[in-house]
Chains A and B, each alone.
Chain A
Amino acid sequence: MPDARVNVPAEVARDKPFEVRVLVRHPMETGYRTDDGGKAIPRNVVSTFTCRYNGETVFSAHLSPGIAANPYLRFFVTARESGQLTFEWIDDAGIRGDERAAVTVV
């Protein structure tokens, strides 16, 4: 069950950067570990994370096995008009997750 906690201000000022914080639930399996039976656990990390604002990509990241479980991403976005932030990510197992948050420009 892919999910995330998204934290954005409900109201933002026009053309002024605001902070977006996302906590993605994911084990970020490195691929270097073995299970109790000694079998290698295959690598499974969130490979790509993308944030779009009204469809336009405003932030994206490629994550690697060096990043801890449940990655926490913090970045800044500037809004010109009210709209919707959408977050999408995909892991090595091909599981997709998405979240959205509405932003109102005041």
Chain B
Amino acid sequence: MLRALAVVVACCAGWAAAQDRVLPLSALRSGISFAGADVRAMQADDAANPGMLWVERGEKLWGEPAGAAGASCASCHGAAKSSMRGVAVRYPAFDATAGTVFDLEARIDDCRTRRQRAPPLRRESDDLLALTTYVAWQSRGLTLDVKVDGPARASFERGRALYGQRHGQMNIACTQCHDQNWGKRLLAETISQGHPNAFPAYRLEWQGSGSLQRRIRACFFGIRADMPPAGAQELTDLELYLAWRALGLPIETPGVRR
């Protein structure tokens, strides 16, 4: 009886959270809208968008057999154009086998190690970025649609808490910039709303493509806090919270950012 009640309460809480969004849908602004005309033009043109180099490499890797199983991604999933369409909008998502929330990178790497029986790909390696970019690119234009109820709940709540918690020498929280002060200037930059819909993105500062985790780590560095290592649970929790916060924004991968 108590358990049943707990389930009901959890469901109601989930419903409440979904209603209770931080930024109303009409106020959501993708990071690209804070960028200058040159960066916007670069992202919009596939011939000029350097992120497309990662899409192209991802397409190559998709068809290449890897690991002891001798299978490629395509051996099981077929053409990514149809099988991966709409997949990225659901990530990060809970994986029942692993019992934890996976972001898209972790999902791909899990498939690689468990199904293809290949050595794991290092986070931020060109190959993992390429595959992630290629898979996310299949959902370009589709709106983010993550689930934060059920088993993903705990991760989501941790992400939400982390987002509102002050960090580092500067003693500021994500929410203070990205909820309370977006649109204002921080030195030469306009503070964005901090949405994840363009990642993996090509960042001009990096002179290359990088994951959402790398971008979040850069924020930790910016506020002079200890950076969680790549692949850390905190980062996945934050990724899930950010995706929920941006529900309804279309995927732009590969985005271009300063």
Q: Which residues of chain A have a CB within 8 Å of any CB of chain B?
A: 1, 3, 5, 7, 21, 23, 25, 27-28, 68-70, 72
Contacts and interface: CB of A to CB of B under 8 A. Distances in A.
Interface string B208-237: 100000000000000000000000000000
Nearest to B207: A69
A74 to B, nearest CB: 8
Given A5-B53, A23-B52, A68 B47 contact: no
Interface of B: 47-48, 50, 52-53, 56-57, 204, 207-208
Contacts of B208: 27, 69-70
Chain A at the B interface: mostly helix, strand, loop or mixed? loop
A68 B207 contact: yes
A25 B50 CA distance: 8
Nearest to A4: B53
A36 to B, nearest CB: 14
Contacts of B204: 68
Contacts of A72: 48, 50
Given A3-B56, A69-B207, 15 more contacts: A3-B53, A5-B53, A5-B56, A23-B47, A23-B48, A23-B50, A23-B53, A25-B57, A27-B207, A68-B204, A68-B207, A70-B53, A70-B208, A72-B48, A72-B50
